[in-house]
Every structure is written in structure tokens, then in C-alpha cells.
A and B are shown apart, each in its own frame.
Chain A
């Protein structure tokens, strides 16, 4: 069965330090992978997506993610955290083929940024 696992429910970093939010997926074929960010009391905004082109994907606000097929991972990184990055982040997998009605969401990682 296809699934997505966000390994940390909560990550806390200091402003100016790197951010790493981990996402692993399980899929029979190469999926499409997305990261979304949700700021408090807001909807979900697309950060970046992977759709079988370059494995290193650059997104908005300095975030990037690398698709590693051998590790079935799509971790989100940022070199230097900013206070405005404090939010919840969701990794989403869209399986190739089959039923695509049900997008597969991770449970989310809440990022806190300390001054």
C-alpha cells in the first residue's frame, strides 16, 4: 500500500540555523511528491514539487528538497531558518497510476523557530 511518513511531528530550530524536515514514502512506481506549508489559520500553500524531472527541487522562500529513490525519501531543507518559517509542513504523495482521488498526506511536521 502506498503511504507517506513524516518522521518528526515537531522540529524546533534557532533562527539562522538549518532546517531539515523528513519525509519517506512508499509507492510502487515513481510518484509525484509535494511539500506544502500551512501558516496558522491559513490554507495550504505549495512550497515545491517533484514530478520526475530534476531530483533536486527548489521551491519558494529558500526551501529545497531532494528526491532519493534509493532511500524513498523527499526531505525538505533550508540553509537558514527565519522566524516567518514557523508553520506546519505537509509532505504529499500522488501515486503513479491507480486511483488518484485520494492524495496521500503525511501527518505534518510543526516547525518552531526560536529567536
Chain B
């Protein structure tokens, strides 16, 4: 695709429900990242994929959070039993590969509100 696409753009869910956030990276990009941005805060790293594997999951805040990537393309971030503190913008980004000079392209984010 032309850019990184994320869905849903907005999600309001009840506390305790599970949510799935989807990221469609730019075609051909092997590296994919998930970040979380809480209101007025900087970016918090969640997880990084190279192809379908996730060499760095160190940022996932708890075992309620998981992510997968299939076919080296689409990625899904799943939050189980959502809590109010999960309310944030979840940003996905992709890069051509791990070469240091490659630009990182961001999606518009999925805005999650847990009520």
C-alpha cells in the first residue's frame, strides 16, 4: 500500500473486554514496530518484528498484551481483559529493513479508550 494503514482508527471498549488492533505496513517492508503513546506522553516501545519473528518483545507491558505477524505483512496487536490504563494511541511503523538509514514510516494510530 501507499502508507502504513491502521485499523480501527478509534475504538471504545468496556473494561475487561479484549481488543485487536491491526497494522498493514508498506508493501515490502520487513521491519514492523508497535508503540504506545499515552495522553501527553512520548512513545513507548512495545514490540518489533523482523519478518514474522519478534526478536524484541521487551516493551510489552504485561502478559495481557500479545502481537503476531503473518506472511511478513499484516500485524495484529491484541490486548486481553483491557484496563483503563490501556487507554492510549497505539502507533504502528514500518521500515524497508533493518539498515540504519532506512526511514521509519508511521500509521495514523489506533485510538483506544477503555471505559
Contact = CB atoms under 8 A, between A and B. Distances in A.
B100 A102 contact: no
B36 to A, nearest CB: 12
Interface stretch (A13-21, A41-49, A65-73, A74-82): A41-49
A103 B108 contact: no
A105 B42 contact: yes
A94 B106 CA distance: 15
Contacts of B91: 43-44
Interface stretch (B50-58, B61-69, B71-79): B50-58
Interface string B82-115: 0000000001010000101101111111010000
Contacts of B109: 42-43
Interface residues of A, number: 28
Given A94-B100, A100-B98, A100-B100, A43 B106 contact: yes
B43 interface: yes
Interface residues of B, number: 25
B103 A102 contact: no
Contacts, number: 61
B101 A102 contact: no
State the main secondary structure of chain A at its contact with B: loop
Contacts of A43: 4, 91, 106-109
A95 B42 contact: no
Which of A92, A103, A105 has the most C-beta atoms of chain B within 10 angstroms of its own C-beta? A103
A102 B104 contact: no
A36 B42 CA distance: 12
A34 B106 CA distance: 13
Given A101-B48, A101-B50, A106 B42 contact: yes
Contacts of B100: 31-32, 51, 94-97, 100
Contacts of A42: 108-109
A99 interface: yes
The 5 nearest A-B residue pairs measured at CB: A101-B48, A51-B101, A101-B56, A44-B106, A107-B42
19 contacts: A34-B104, A41-B111, A43-B107, A44-B93, A45-B106, A46-B105, A49-B101, A52-B101, A90-B42, A94-B101, A100-B98, A101-B50, A101-B56, A102-B48, A103-B33, A105-B42, A105-B45, A106-B42, A108-B43
